[in-house]
Amino acid sequence: MGVKRVIVFDTTLRDGEQTPGVNFDINDKFKIAKQLVSLGVDVIEAGFPAASNGDFEAVKNIADKLKGVTIAAMARSVKEDIDRACSALKNAEKSRLHVFIATSDIHLKYKLKMSREEMLEKAVEMVKYAKGKFDEIEFSAEDASRTDWDFLVKVFSEVIDAGANVINVPDTVGYAMPREFGELIKYIRNNVPNIDGVMISAHCHNDLGMAVANSLSAIENGATQVEVTVNGIGERAGNAAMEEVVMALNTRKDYFGLVHGINTKEIYNTSKLVSELTGIKLQPNKAIVGANAFRHQAGIHQHGVINNRATYEIMKPEDIGIVPDTFALGKLSGRNAFELKVRQLGFNNLSPGELSDAFRRFKDLADRKKVVIDEDIRFVVEETLEEFRSFKEGEAWA
């Protein structure tokens, strides 16, 4: 048996667009979708065709033009939504319907105003209606993590019989804990009688900051597809961040023993593009793609990295397409890092005295400034050299 492969389903263009304040036009969606193909995702959820004419056209444009990737479209469990998705995806090289309905008692009572039996009948009817219209059918049990487990097993079993070949387990409101969510995935895998040959997917939200941990726990317990967004954008606190899930699988191959199809060298380019088109800046300490993700300020850390990067870096910035800017120089930085930065800036012939004086000036400046940039270092060194030069000229005239 070969190494198991995780399918990466990217929903930046659907769930990601549900980020408050984000609105992609047809060109934005196509630019991101094209980059997602370069990134190597397996499935692009291009949008929700029934939501608006603009979203219909954007999904259709992607389905018509992009090859080498499955294009998915979302639909509620109503015929009109399914027909709209079918029309948008008709020219896709490989199409997938992503049809959903809520299954938790709280959603059934207050949102759908349906009994469990009514909801189950509707889900089965709509999957049967969609069968044959798409290459694949993914069924999502909205709010699965707050649904009675045995009822969830019954729902999945019946929609699989009706024609679903992917079942999605969403932690819709980010309520689950990692061990609990992993156990739910395992329970589904062990108790849905017709699960063989069906893909189990996990779709996690980040309301408690657990989306990535829950996604990885799901994978560890038998999920074969993970649903993610670039930079973790999405409803409320967002979704599982693609770059974090992928690099966790990459960095800890020894632990997970899994592979994926992502070209990690395109991660940073993809992150930048989505950040630009959404207008959402990344916080500096964002894992993997934040400005500080591979920067070291403390002198002890900098000294370790100079000797061997593996002392404080578990990934290489080059692996995700970043040109390293390893050191953030500040008041905690040590002489080793300062000396290396000075050499990188082209000052290769400083005497020990000049270097000591420049380092002292740098420390004085760092006490006053939060961030010391390359131009500051250059100024400090040039000022030092100018003073030493003046001193030497004075000695010569004496």
Q: Rounded to an integer, what distance in angstroms lies between the CA atom of residue 282 and that of residue 267?
A: 14
What pLDDT, on the 0 to 100 scale, is given for residue 210? Answer: 98
What pLDDT, on the 0 to 100 scale, is given for residue 31? Answer: 96
Confidence of residue 311 (pLDDT cuts 50, 70, 90): low
Answer whether 303's CB lies under 8 Å from 297's CB. no
Contacts of 357 by beta carbon, 8 Å cutoff, 6+ apart: 384, 387, 388
The residues that bridge with 72 in the sheet, in sequence order, are 45, 96
**How wide is the angle at C-alpha 228 spanned by C-alphas 5 and 132, nearest 5°?**
70
Confidence of residue 89 (pLDDT cuts 50, 70, 90): very high
Tell me, which fold does domain 4-278 have in CATH?
Answer: TIM Barrel (3.20.20)
pLDDT at 20 > cutoff 70? yes
What pLDDT, on the 0 to 100 scale, is given for residue 377? Answer: 82
The β-bridge relationship of strands 199-204 and 166-171 is parallel
Residue 167 host element (H or E): strand 166-171
pLDDT at 236 > cutoff 90? yes
What pLDDT, on the 0 to 100 scale, is given for residue 373? Answer: 74
Q: Where are the beta strands (DSSP E) in 22-120?
A: 43-47, 70-76, 95-102
When pLDDT is averaged across residues 54-82 and rounded to a whole number, the result is 98
Query: Looking at per-residue confidence, does 246 or 321 come out higher?
Result: 246
Residue 228 host element (H or E): strand 225-228
Confidence of residue 397 (pLDDT cuts 50, 70, 90): very low
Q: Rounded to an integer, what distance in angstroms lies between the CA atom of residue 332 and that of residue 296?
A: 10
pLDDT at 127 > cutoff 90? yes
* pTM higher than the cut 0.85: no
What pLDDT, on the 0 to 100 scale, is given for residue 398? Answer: 46
What pLDDT, on the 0 to 100 scale, is given for residue 335? Answer: 83
What pLDDT, on the 0 to 100 scale, is given for residue 1? Answer: 52
Q: Which of 379, 335, 117, 316 is nearest to 326 (CA)?
A: 316
What pLDDT, on the 0 to 100 scale, is given for residue 305? Answer: 52
When pLDDT is averaged across residues 372-388 and rounded to a whole number, the result is 82
When pLDDT is averaged across residues 180-209 and rounded to a whole number, the result is 98
Q: Rounded to an integer, what distance in angstroms lies between the CA atom of residue 179 and that of residue 341?
A: 44
pLDDT, tens digit, 9 for 90 and up, residues 361-379: 888 888 888 777 777 888 8
The residues that bridge with 10 in the sheet, in sequence order, are 44, 228
Work out the mean pLDDT of the chain and round it to a whole number: 91
Sorted by where each begins, the domain ranges of the chain are: 4-278, 299-397
Place of tokens 């969403």: 170
Lowest mean pLDDT among 73-82, 109-118, 305-314: 305-314
Distances in Å between the Cα of 250 and the Cα atoms of 179, 230, 253, 261, 332 are 21, 17, 5, 11, 32
Q: Rounded to an integer, what distance in angstroms lies between the CA atom of residue 66 and that of residue 207?
A: 33
Confidence of residue 2 (pLDDT cuts 50, 70, 90): low
pLDDT at 322 > cutoff 50? yes
Answer whether 269's CB lies under 8 Å from 16's CB. no
pLDDT at 396 > cutoff 50? no
Confidence of residue 394 (pLDDT cuts 50, 70, 90): low
Reduced to 3 states, what is the DSSP secondary structure of residue 98? strand
